[in-house]
Amino acid sequence: MPTVPLIVVRPPSPRLAEGELTHLDRVPVDPALARTQWEGYVAAFAARGWDVVELEPAPEHPDGVFVEDALVVVDRLAILTSPGAASRRGELVTARAGVDRLVASGFALEVVAIEPPGTLDGGDVLKVGDVIYVGRGDRTNDEGVRQLAALVEPYGRRVVPVPVAKVLHLKSGVTALPDGTVVGYAPLVDDPAAYPTFLGVPEEHGTAVVDLGDGAVLMSADAPRTAELYAARGLEVVTVPITEFERLEGCVTCLSVRIRR
């Protein structure tokens, strides 16, 4: 059984620029630069000792690089989602194949799924301790929230629905620091009072952080003042440029699924 943490990722499609948009105007995206930035993102995890599991490429799916939306891992559950955008449902085939490879390699994962008419995007799922906040918006519906709660509550997790209207996904607006503090750019957070501890950050692209372990966090290079804020709280801050994904409402959380052992 592996003992190091790992990330599940998928390389960006050459059709990345055609990805779904809801709140941003479409602007040019450079596929070659996106690939370089994706490689740098993966390398940042590898440098911290994380293993990397790469899903099969899905060039026909422009949004396939945002692998977190197709797969949520909670304790021993590997939950295949039910994407709210019809164009993304084909991504589940290779996501399932990747999970099956993990199980075959020795990971004790139970594979389950959100079933229609429920919809759930992984970008709407924020785990903070035993609480799982789930964004209820355009991509995740009430039935998806209900099914997720039924799956995770036996593991001692409590699901708390929160509204999402100002951004694409819940984690486009808020994520959490290693100590459980929820962070976000206040103008894009629908209800900061939904979280017991909320810290506003000065830049939109500073909202998304990934806990790398050992007091380190990964975040976008496009939020230097927020990086200083996190460093002042005693965190080691690792930054990566992800401009081409941010143009498509992506962030550092949605480019991977993290599995901690």
> Which residues are known binding-site members for substrate?
21, 63, 68-69, 88, 139, 248
In this structure, the number of other CB atoms found within 10 A of the CB of residue 23 comes to 12
23 catalytically annotated: no
Spot the catalytic one: 61, 205, 251, 254. Answer: 254
Q: Determine which one of 61, 169, 205, 251 is catalytic.
A: 169
- Respond yes or no: is residue 169 known to be catalytic: yes
* Residues 6 or more apart whose Cβ sits within 8 Å of residue 218: 44, 45, 209, 210, 212, 238, 239, 240, 252
Cβ 174 vs Cβ 184: under 8 Å: yes
Cite the annotated binding site by residue number. Answer: 21, 63, 68-69, 88, 139, 248
| 51-54, strands of its sheet edge to edge | 51-54, 6-9, 257-259
Q: How far apart are CA 77 and CA 111, in angstroms?
A: 6
Active site residues: 169, 254
